[in-house]
Amino acid sequence: MTISTSTELICFLILSSVIVSGALGVVLIENIVYSAFLLGGVFMSVAGLYLLLNASFVAAAQVLVYVGAVNVLILFAIMLVNKQEELKPIKGLKIRRFFSGCVCAGLLALLFRVDITTNWATPGPKAIGEIATERIGEHLFTDYLLPFELASVLLLMAMIGAIVLARRDVISIELESKDSIPQNIIKNSTDNVLLDQSSD
Partner 1 sequence: MFNSQDLIPLNAYLLIASILFCIGVWGLINSRNAVRVLMSIELMLNGVNINLMAFSSYIDGNIIRGQVFTVFVITVAAAEAAVGLAILLSLYRNRTTVDMESFNLLKW
CA–CA dist 21, 16 (Å, integer): 9
3-state SS, residue 68: helix
Q: How far is the CB of 171 from partner 1 (least distance, A)?
A: 15
Burial class, 188, CB count within 10 angstroms (exposed 0-12 / middle 13-18 / buried 19+): exposed
Restricting to residues 139-158, name those near partner 1 by CB under 8 A: 139-140, 144, 147, 151, 154-155, 157-158
Which residues, numbered 105-134, are part of the site for partner 1 (CB under 8 A)? 105, 107-108, 111-112, 115-116, 120-130, 132
Q: Measured from the CB atom, is 72 or 177 closer to partner 1?
A: 72
For position 88 contacting partner 1 by CB under 8 A, the verdict is: yes
| For partner 1, the closer CB: 175 or 194 | 194
Q: Which of residues 155-174 bind partner 1 (CB under 8 A)?
A: 155, 157-159, 161-163, 165-166, 168
Q: In sequence order, what DSSP letters do the residues of 7-64 get, joined into one string?
A: HHHHHHHHHHHHHHHHHHHHHH-S-HHHHHHHHHHHHHHHHHHHHHTT-HHHHHHHII
Residue 63 in contact with partner 1, rule: CB under 8 A: no
Cβ–Cβ under 8 Å, residues 181 and 170: yes
Name the segment binding partner 1 (CB under 8 A); options: 52-60, 171-179, 180-188.
Answer: 52-60
